[in-house]
Amino acid sequence: MAKSNSKFSFIDAMHEGVLEIAEAGKNGTVKIKRTDLKALLEKTLQNAVKSASGGDRVKFPVIGTLMRKDVEARKGGKRPDPFNPGQEMIVKPRPATKKPRWSFPKSLKEDFANKKNW
């Protein structure tokens, strides 16, 4: 895994893991077992989630960024009902929480928005 005093890097963690599991064949080709690669990918993704839950921004190439969002607490009480104008509804109080947030890169959003790709 990456150095402990630096931020988590998905690319660096995968690179180091591949170097550990790769084996040289008799004719000089590199062999990686499918089960080892699957375990490495799962372990690296779990480490990325732990890092993101700790407050770091974890970037995954091409697909986006995982981060933690702090949701503020909400007081309970009466609020206007959006479905029945003129009436009030009772809202329960909500404690402050920390939730995962995923952010897609602009290029990916543009590819999905382009009707040529449909």
Residue-range definition of the domain harbouring residue 81: 10-117
Q: Is residue 2 part of a domain?
A: no
Provide the CATH number for the domain around residue 30: 4.10.520.10
Nearest to 93 by CA among 77, 76, 114: 76
Any domain includes 5: no
Question: How far apart (Å, rounded) are the C-alpha atoms in residues 66 and 46?
Answer: 12
How many folded domains does the chain comprise?
A: 1
Write down the pTM of the prediction: 0.73
- For residue range 65-80, list pLDDT tens digits in order: 999 999 999 999 999 9
State mean pLDDT over 1-24: 83
Domain-located, residue 16: yes
Q: Give 71's strand partners.
A: 97
Q: Within a domain: residue 1?
A: no
Paired strand residues for 69: 99
Read off the tokens for 39: 């375990």
For residues 6-29, average pLDDT: 91
Q: What is the pLDDT of residue 72?
A: 95
